[in-house]
Every structure is written in C-alpha cells, then in structure tokens.
Chain A
C-alpha cells in the first residue's frame, strides 16, 4: 500500500472527513487506481475501525465519524466508477418492517454495510414483505436485512421469510434480522438465515452469508 493510501486509512480512522476528502482527491490526481483507493484506503480504514469497535477500543460515535469520512472519500470516487459501477461486496436491501417507524438501528447497519463495501438499498421504514422481496428481485440483491423495534411488528419478518420461500427464492436471497426484541432463537424459529445483534455483527453475518452462498 502506498503512503498516501495509508494516510487516507489513518485519517479516516480519526474521523477527519475533510482530510480524507483532500487526500482522496490527491490520490486521484496521482493516478492511483480508484479501486485501490477505495479498497486499500477507505474500506481498509473502515475495516480497522470495525475491528477496534468490536474489541471495545472505540465507541459508536467514533465509528460514525469514520463513516462520514469514508462517505466523503466515496463521493469523489463515484464518478470514476460510472462505466463499470462501484466495486461491491454484494447488494443488500434493508428496511424497518411494516408498522415500525424506528430506523436508527437500521440506519447504523446501512452505514456499516456501505463502509464494508456493500451496495445498500435502504427502503426506509414501514416496509411490507412484498416490497422487500420485489426490490431484492428487481435489483438482483442477495440479502434482505430487516429491523424491528417492536414485538408487534416482528411477525412481518416471518411473513417476509415465508414469501421468499413461497417464491422459491431461498437459495438466491438470504435474510438477516435485527432489532431490540429480536434474538438468535427467533431468527432460527422463523427460518431467517442470520441474526445481527449490532451493526458490526450484522456486517460480519452478511459477509458470512454471502461467503456461504458463493461456496
């Protein structure tokens, strides 16, 4: 890795969005391939952040400051990928399930997934099962992530998983669920493929799911 990419990664870890933006611009001027800037500088920095967060060395606000810095760099890189599209780890559709308007948890998962290099389609909140499945089919997404903060809306997760099965899409589209009242046990009971207990764990689970899918 060049010194410049290392500096991008380090500044990102410090949550210095202005510096990350400036350094990304400089890396582009120096003709470093955009894919390398993205993977080694930006995603590389976010990976370190994810590990530090998991090890309780840093806290959520620092993760989110780093994410903002990552987005600042990505904004500059985006036009470079217009022809071939942004390199992606995979496409994930996320949303808070029908009847649920809480979306902070889901937003955090989306931010972390993007930080890890996934293409994220955020459907917002109050999302019915049909919309999750239709969007995943149309966008050729391989994972649907559902969030619920209310026990009363948890059955919508079950309905979505059932709909995927009914349409014969279980092999193509994997599901992950999360949210305060949700548990690993509930995920297993409804036949979801994974449970994410927090945003970083959700990213790891999605990576695992996609790894398993491609094997």
Chain B
C-alpha cells in the first residue's frame, strides 16, 4: 500500500487550547479581546493558505530496520529501537500543510504584523500535528478494514530527530517513501521543506509494546516530554481531531 492523502484545510480541527498554549497562554486563561481577534485572523489565513496532504506506505520490519539504523548516528538505546521489532504493522509517512502558510508568516513578520505572524506560526505547527494525528487514525482504520487489528491494538508515531532517532534517518526514509511526490523535499541539513512538515514511522501493535519510561539519557534534554501524553491517549482518552476529509 502506498497512498497519497489530501485533506481539505477546513477538516483540520485545530485545538484552540493548543494554539494558545503555544503562545504561552495556559489552558483556562481567557485571552483578551485583542488576542481573540488575532486568533480569528490567523484561522482565516490558515484556512485560505494551508494545503494539507500526506503520503503513507506499508513497510516490513526488516526494511524499516535498515531505515531506522540509517547513517549509524542514533542513540544506542531508544524506545523506537525496541518497539518496532514487536510491531504487527509499520508504515512510513510524510505530511505537510504546504509552503504557502510559511510564506504568509514571513510576509506578516516583514510588514511588522508580528502578533498575527506569530499566532499563525503557532496555528500552523498545531495544524501540522493535527494532520499527523488524522493520518495516524487513517492508518488504524485501514488496518481495521483489512482485519489486521485486535481490540488491544494501538498506533504511535515516531519521527527522526526525536527520542534518539537521529535526524539523518530522514535520508533513507525519503529514499524509500519519496515524499517529493507531494512536494516535500529533504535539505542537506535533513530539514524538510516546507518547514511545516512531519515525517516518520507509524507503528501498530499491542498497546503494551508502547509503554516506556522517559528515563533515556536524551530524555533529560527534552523540553516537551510529549510522549507521556501520547501514551496516555493510547490507553484511554479519545483523540480530539476528526478523520473527516480523508480521501
């Protein structure tokens, strides 16, 4: 299976709380009117200029092992290094909300519209994550349709540059997946262009394989520990985003 998925911008359900949190406004704080206006303005621009799309492809465990070990620069011990070997299914993915939003952000900063530009940047980051969540749901549904999951199956995604998987892993990931087909290109620094893009592997398997402590040496320099939230969601809370719009 190798599929290109296009998602209408209007179907990307952005979490207002997450966007405001990225702006340093803690949940529960009612933002002032001016900030609300910025939020609305940024939403309009996001809807007009974002072009979310993704690509997903099945990959076997041995094939992924080659991609994962990549250029040999990973940390010695990583959660993904243990988890992927126990997976029932793996899929490589890449997704983006397109270049136009980034151009718009630059344009806003260039015209001294810093607050709107910054709000749009937060929205674009949250939007990109939301598209990734949608793709993860899509992958799970696909497995469901194929009858390849059990009630205790869960999915989690990992990306090069995080949790000990070195950024250089992008090289082999791109050679396998060819995200260029949806307009995502890899730069020499292993960054993707458009900037608001995510790539990685989706792992499906018994939920228990995903349990790990955030006590790896590299965890101490992690400022988000977002793995905790993602594992918690896997074991309980339903995801906030919608699967609507997948074609």
Residues of A that sit less than 8 Å from B by CB: 15, 59-62, 64-65, 67-68, 71-72, 98-102, 104, 107-108, 111, 150-153, 180-181, 183
Contacts and interface: CB of A to CB of B under 8 A. Distances in A.
A62 B35 contact: yes
Nearest to B190: A152
B62 interface: no
A138 B193 CA distance: 32
Given A68-B112, A68-B113, A101-B193, A151 B32 contact: no
A180 B118 contact: no
B213 interface: no
Interface of B: 23-25, 29, 31-32, 34-35, 38, 105, 109, 112-115, 117-119, 121, 161, 166-168, 187-191, 193, 195, 221, 223
Contacts of B190: 150, 152
B117 to A, nearest CB: 8
A67 B111 CA distance: 12
Given A65-B34, A99-B189, A150-B167, A104 B223 contact: no
Given A151-B167, A183-B221, A59 B193 contact: no
A186 B172 CA distance: 30
Contacts of B112: 67-68, 71-72
B118 A108 contact: yes
Contacts of B167: 150-152
Contacts of B24: 59-60
22 contacts: A15-B115, A59-B23, A60-B25, A61-B34, A61-B35, A61-B38, A61-B115, A61-B119, A62-B32, A62-B34, A62-B115, A64-B115, A65-B34, A68-B114, A99-B187, A101-B187, A101-B191, A102-B195, A107-B114, A108-B114, A108-B118, A181-B221
Given A68-B113, A151-B167, A61 B118 contact: yes
Across chains A and B, which 5 residue pairs bring their CB atoms closest together, nearest first?
A: A99-B189, A64-B115, A64-B114, A61-B35, A60-B24
Contacts of A72: 112
A59 B109 contact: no
Nearest to B168: A152
Which of B32, B35, B114 has the most chain A CB within a 10 Å cutoff? B114
Contacts of B35: 59, 61-62
Contact of A60 (B32, B113, B118, B189): B118
A21 to B, nearest CB: 11
A108 B121 CA distance: 12
Given A60-B23, A107-B109, 6 more contacts: A98-B189, A101-B191, A104-B105, A104-B118, A151-B161, A183-B221
A108 B119 CA distance: 12
A163 to B, nearest CB: 19
A101 B105 CA distance: 13
